[in-house]
Each structure stands twice: as structure tokens, then as C-alpha cells.
Chains A and B, each alone.
Chain A
């Protein structure tokens, strides 16, 4: 069993999700009596493999699952994959996977190009790091779910506006439910992103005090993009709240949720391919540092095998 679990790779569950996505796409082409079972089967198998992979890493790598960019992305995709499975079982005729699974696969792809090396931590910063990572994770998941609700709202509204009956295998939730979800998730995303940013500031201060990580300056790309994301999400949440009493409020909310997802995606890409001092150990001559004073860093064999440019931990969004 242990040998089996140790052999699970990212490709295993990514492939399962990809097959589930193909099944979702086939809804638009033909009817099938076994497709629903196949979708749930593949997504379920993927989620089990995904879970085992994370558990294996938690058992064999210290300080996971939020301690490296790689684990952060995988955890975010795991939450969304679980959400997809739950929504598909609860609403089998709603094609949520068409919109959610690409995000899941995108996050897995982002994980693949991120560093697997954990951020250097001490017990003090571990807590703040976990809070920072968890809030950012919650904000990202909320933005993704809000975007899903927003795009479904626009599709449903277009169908109702064209006065067409719903497609048999493409049933969408009501506008009321979708608008409610969009508004809620935007508010949650704004609050959690702001909390993530503030906890990041605290973490930065602790790091500076203890010299665990290099202090992230205010003009660091990660700080700027996170500040931009928070500002955008808060603005969007306020606009949606204010517009809620207007007849076109739900439409505006749907568009804002989509733009929020775009901003989040841009932020992630910037984090993946940009340069930053976020999560980077202090530059010092390691030979002069005593063993006790060193921050705990646990590079994985995979990270160690990477080229030097990729070994530096990337920032979480």
C-alpha cells in the first residue's frame, strides 16, 4: 500500500481530472447514460489520488501543505476539485466542470512550475505563515467559485433573454441562486484576501525581527500585486453591495467576478514568472552561520534537482 501511494504522481490525478473534463465537454455533443458515472468516477479517482499525494507529502516532507508554493497550488486545486465533485453529485445536469476543472488543471500546472522547497520557517512564523497561506487560499477559491457563478449567470441570462428552452444536459442554476453566490463569494474573497495581506505584513515583520527570511520591501512585485488584488476585490465587493438594489446589479456582479478571476490569474502568472524576494532566505554566507541560527529549510529531492533559477520558492498569490 505504502509503495502504491508513494508512486502517485501529479500526472495521475491531473490525468483523471482531464478525462473528467473531456466527459464534461462531451455533454455538448451527445447524450450518454454512463457519462455521469464516468465523470464522477474519474474525478473521484483523481481526488483520492490527489488526497493521497498530499497526505504522502505531509507525512514525508515537513511543514506541508502550505509551506511551499507547490503545495499551496496543489491544496487550492484539491479544494476546487472537491467542490467540483460535490457540485456534480448534487446537480448532475449542471456542467460546472466545464468551468471549474480547467481552473483545477491550471492550478496543478502552476504547481508544476513552482518550487517544491518549503519556505524557511520557525515555530513562530509557521503559525503566521499558515494563517497567511490559508487566507490567500480561501480568497483564491472564493474568486474561482465566484467566477464560475458569474459565468453561469451570464449564460443563463443569455438563454432566458433569447427565450430558448434549456438544453437537456446543460441545466443551469437559477439566476437568483447564481447572483447570490457571486455576491457572497466576492465579499468572502475581499475579506479573506485583505486578511491574507495583513497576516503577510505581520509575517514579514516577524521575519524581519528574527532574520528568518529576507524582509520583503513594499515595492516587491508580490506585495504590489497582492495589494492590487486586495484593492480590486474590496472595490468589487463594495460596488456589488451598492449595486445590489439596482435591476442590473446581478449582471454587474457577474462581470466583476469574471474580472476578479482575470486579476487573480494575472497575479498568479506574475508570481510564477516574476522575480521576488518573497519567501527567500536571507542572503548570507552560510559557512558563517551556526547550525542553530539557520532557518529550517527542507528542500525536496525534486527541488534540489531543479536548476538554480527555479529552486527559489515562488510567491503564493
Chain B
């Protein structure tokens, strides 16, 4: 087997151990340098994200296999100064085809905490780049990572696994607020409360173009602080009615135990709104907006439960795409392994060609000596005929080798060819 891997994810490694095992970019570069010294002639790529640490290794030539998973566990433990016995039970390992299949699944986001999340593709690319810079990447890992990126692209374009949004802020902005408003750069966004969810939602709104943002909070200092941090304007909580009248989109995340905006308060603001639509993302629990406000014309009120239900529907939608994604992973794995097995036949093919070429040259020399009157054009014609004849004779065995490679390493066929044509190393 020319491929090996060992690794652990959020599913298998407890957070405390994952934190100790995680590599920063510098630590990863150092570990790869150490790998190069420890395992010369082998290839290695280290993928370390907040949810996974994985090491992919490949052998060099046929007689230089990759380090087995057990050695890779010890190597990772040594790099991070962790007892290997702690890692062995929580890290998984594999060899051969399973390595490629796993990497392709990882790159396509099928193994991620959030199914189909796209950030992992960039992380896989970074890991491969780091290995190239550290000179531990080679032809085998290069091909495997290229195939992984190609697979990720296919899964992203041919299935809808990564299309539906799953986080409450992203769903709130992309699926609901964007359904009401065409653009956000001319809209007033009002944040009520200074919760973490408000800041996260504002991040998506900023990407969508929102510029005019006002933050009101019972504690004015907290609103000032958040406004400075987010590049917004702080308003007074006492002016909430006026701010509601001016706002187009409200994100509310206070920790109040009673609704902050009652129908009466909203009624006062509504009369000054001039009929403009209002989107309210009430992300607070308990709710900040009285639900009766949502029945007013032109008001689109969404609570956390509404948005969570939408997220859940999107999650199920992603799950439905899994079979199609797995099919692509299978196809790409078979394709990659077929190419890999075919590569292993290269030395035999080379020797076969060299042997035939040598015999042909000898025969041509003998022929040309016996026919000294031949001119250069005639000699070139005869030489071409010999080459075509050899190529045609070689085609069936080479085609058989390629065909056999799709199912696995064609050891039997290679052995037969070596014995039939007396091919020596």
C-alpha cells in the first residue's frame, strides 16, 4: 500500500485533547520538516483545523512504503508532546483506497461538523500548500490532493449539499431579509441589545451591503462599545420608538424577561413609518417583540424558533443530497486509484518498450548492413514500419494492463508479462 493516514475529528477526539493536538501553521511546518528527516523519501501532508487533525502519508518508490498508521500516531504525539497512548484509542487510521476516499469526503465537507460547509476546501488547499513549501509533498500526495479538490468542486456544483444555509443569522439574512429587501445599502438597521448573535447577524448584513447601523441597549456604555467595534452609531434606549420608526430592519437580542417592544410602543412608531416594510429578526429568548406585532401589515417578524425551523428544513435538504455526493466520492476514488495502480505498471511498461526497441534496432542494423544500397528515405520508411509494428504488438498488453488497473494493482498480469518477455529489474 502506498498511502496511509491517521487522524481524529470532533467526533472521536475530546475537545481538551483536540486543543492539545491542534497545530498552528508554524507548528505544522516544523512537524513536516521533522517528518522529512524522520521518513526520507516519503511524502506527507498535515491537515489541522479546529475540528480535525489528520496526517496523510505516501510512499516514494514501490520499495519505499509510507510509515504505517501506528508510526504516524507516535510521530504526531511526539510533535505535540502528548503521550501516544492517549492518542491511539481516539485516532483512526487507514491505508490504500480508504485514505483517498476519506480525504475526498473531508474536502467535500461530508465529514464536517456542518455538513457541506465550504471552508474545509480552503483548509485542505492550505495544508497541501504548506506541504509543498516544506518539501514533503510529492507526486502521489500532489495527485491525491488535486483529485480531492476536484471532487470537492464536483460535489459543490453537481449537488446542493452546500447551498442551503444552516446558521440562524445566515438564514435570517439570506432567506428572509433578502426576500423582503432588494438591497441593504439604503436601509437602516437597528440592533436592540448587544448580544453575540446581533454581532454575528450584523456580519452577514454587512456582507449584504448594510451601512447605516444603529445600536440601542439599556446599558448605554455597552452600546457605545459595540458601536465602536462594529463601526455603527449608538442610539439611546429611551428613543427606541423613534429608532423603530426610522428602521427598515431590526435585530433584537436583549436578555429581557418581558417583551421590549409592545404593540402600543410599536403602534406609536408605525404611524411615523410611512408604510415602509419592516423586517424584525427577534433572536432573543424570551422574545423581545410581542408576537401580535407580526400580524401588522408590512411587518415581517421572525423569532428564533421560526428561523431554527428554517435551518432544520435546510439541514434535512442537505442530508437528502448525501447519496449523490457519496456517488461522486466513489467515482473519484475509483478514478484516482485506477490511475495510481496504472502508475505502478510504468516500470514494467518501460522495460517492455525498451526491450522491444533494442531488439528492433539490432534487426534494423543487420538489415541495413545486408542492403547497403538503400538510400536514407528508404531506411527511414523501413524504420517507421518497424516502429508501427512494435507499437501495434504492444497495444493489447498495455490496454489489458490499463483495464486491470481499474480494479486494483495488476500484480498477476505484471508478473506474467515479466516472465513471458523475460523482463528483469
Contacts and interface: CB of A to CB of B under 8 A. Distances in A.
Interface stretch (A43-51, A215-223, A239-247): A239-247
B197 interface: no
A301 interface: no
B277 to A, nearest CB: 7
Size category of the B interface is 20 to 34
A284 interface: no
B298 A247 contact: yes
A247 B277 contact: yes
A251 B297 contact: yes
B275 A245 contact: yes
B180 A160 contact: yes
Contacts of A161: 300
Q: Give chain B's interface secondary structure class.
A: mixed
A163 B310 contact: yes
A126 interface: no
A156 B178 CA distance: 11
Given A160-B180, A173-B182, A251-B297, A166 B175 contact: yes
A31 B160 contact: yes
A245 B277 CA distance: 10
Interface string B170-186: 01000110111111000
Interface in B58-100: none
Interface in A142-177: 156, 159-161, 163-166, 168, 172-177
Contacts of A163: 176, 302, 306, 309-310
Contacts of B182: 173-174, 176-177, 180
Contact of B298 (A31, A166, A248): A248
A307 interface: no
A168 B164 contact: yes
A163 B299 CA distance: 13
A128 B300 CA distance: 49
Interface in B213-248: none
B163 interface: yes
A245 B270 CA distance: 12
A123 interface: no
Given A160-B300, A247-B273, A247-B298, A168 B317 contact: yes
A244 B298 CA distance: 12
Contacts of B302: 163
Given A31-B160, A248-B298, A175 B317 contact: no
B303 to A, nearest CB: 9
Interface residues of A, number: 26
Interface in B260-305: 270, 273-277, 296-300, 302
Nearest to B311: A165
A249 interface: yes
Nearest to B317: A168
B313 interface: yes
Contacts of B181: 174-176
A245 B163 CA distance: 36
Nearest to A163: B306
B160 A247 contact: no
A160 B275 contact: no
A251 B171 CA distance: 25
B115 to A, nearest CB: 16
Contacts of B317: 168
B331 interface: no
Contact of B163 (A33, A160, A168): A168
Nearest to B163: A168
Given A247-B297, A251-B297, A176 B160 contact: no
B158 interface: yes
Contacts of B276: 247
B297 A248 contact: yes
Contacts of B163: 168
A248 B296 CA distance: 9
Contacts of A173: 182
A176 B180 contact: yes
A250 B298 CA distance: 9
A251 B300 CA distance: 14
A14 B182 CA distance: 34
B141 interface: no
B314 interface: yes
B179 A172 contact: yes
Contacts of A33: 158
B331 to A, nearest CB: 15
A161 B294 CA distance: 9
Nearest to B183: A176
B310 A165 contact: yes
Closest CB pairs A-B (n = 3): A247-B298, A248-B297, A247-B297
14 contacts: A159-B179, A160-B176, A165-B164, A165-B171, A165-B313, A165-B314, A174-B178, A175-B179, A175-B180, A244-B275, A247-B270, A247-B276, A247-B277, A249-B275
Given A174-B180, A251-B297, 11 more contacts: A161-B300, A163-B302, A163-B306, A163-B310, A165-B175, A166-B175, A168-B317, A176-B183, A247-B273, A247-B296, A247-B298
Interface of B: 158, 160, 163-164, 171, 175-176, 178-183, 270, 273-277, 296-300, 302, 306, 309-310, 313-314, 317
